Amino acid sequence: MDFYSLDPVIAGLTLAFLAGLSVPLGATLARFERIHPDWLETELRHSVVAFGGGALLSAVALVLIPEAVERGTPQLVLGCFLGGGLVFFAVDRMLAAIGGRVAQFLAMMLDYLPEAMALGALITADPGVALVTAGLIAVQNLPEGFGAWREMAADSHLPRRRLVLLFAMVAPLGPVAAAVGLFLLADQPAILAAVMAFASGGIVYLLFQDIAPQAHLDKAYAPALGSVMGFALGLAGHMAMT
């Protein structure tokens, strides 16, 4: 069946769901990843976290902020960006006080859900761009899911069964976000701009406070190169969309 002949609602919800499936897929890869010798496993793990960080940075620089600036006023975008950073500073402090480790999961959701909203808003106006956007989201979500699982699985406060359920619930959230974008935000560009700018502020805070430090590994250079490759992935997707 031709994608372009599908009903826009079905197409948008399906694309968002398929893009979200890469989150539990990345988590599954993290669960079964076993590489020897141990130093290689450690370097690979840090490299994947850095790759996800680069992909998050590209999402902010190439998708979320440009789309927010296009749709909103400078005052709205700047205010929501700063607000997102401040809110997630407060959330991070609260989680640190109770011993939680969910920075990468929060950053992943801040990336995925606003982009899924934008996907829903785009599906009727430009199905081709929406299709490329869904592919980019899916590829970004894979290393982000991997890194988020490794971070949260290391936290003894979180039972594994509950953690599996949490990651499994991410994929269905994509169609919900896409439906919000399609039915509520397609004609409300200022609200969509505010959501994207707020998410960007939160991602930038979490990226430099938690994710980048976790990706660093003494006397190893692959993780830093992984961040460059992650950003390059986002850049390639951005150029494909323009």
* Predicted confidence (pLDDT) per residue in 18-28, tens digit: 888 988 888 88
pLDDT tens readout for residues 201-235:
888 887 777 666 665 556 555 666 666 776 676 66
Whether 24 is in a domain gets the answer yes
For position 36, what pLDDT does the model report?
A: 46
Residue 218: φ, ψ to 5°: -60, 140
Domain that holds residue 162: 7-241
What is the Cα–Cα distance from 167 to 117, expressed in whole angstroms? 19
Distance of alpha carbon 60 from alpha carbon 85, whole angstroms? 13
Mean pLDDT by 10 residues, the chain (242 residues): 65 87 85 54 69 77 83 90 87 70 76 82 72 76 80 72 84 90 84 86 79 60 65 67 59
Tell me whether residue 2 is in a domain. Answer: no
Evaluate whether residue 1 is within a structural domain.
Answer: no
Assess if residue 64 is contained within a domain.
yes
Tally of domains in the chain: 1
122: helix, coil or strand? helix
pLDDT at 205: 83
Kindly state whether residue 106 falls inside one of the protein's structural domains.
yes
Taking the model in full, what pTM does it have?
Answer: 0.71
Q: What angle do CA 59, 62, 65 make, to 5 degrees?
A: 85
Check residue 40 and give its pLDDT. 46
CB 188 within 8 A of CB 196: no
Which of helix, strand or coil describes residue 154? Answer: coil
Residue 50: inside a domain = yes
DSSP 61: I
In a domain, 158, yes or no: yes
Report DSSP letters for 32-44, one per residue.
H---SSHHHHHHH
Whole-angstrom CA distances from 197 to 24, 44, 67, 72 are 26, 32, 9, 9
| Peptide bond before residue 37 is cis, with ω within 30 degrees of 0 | yes
199 belongs to a structural domain: yes
166, two tokens: 């949490």
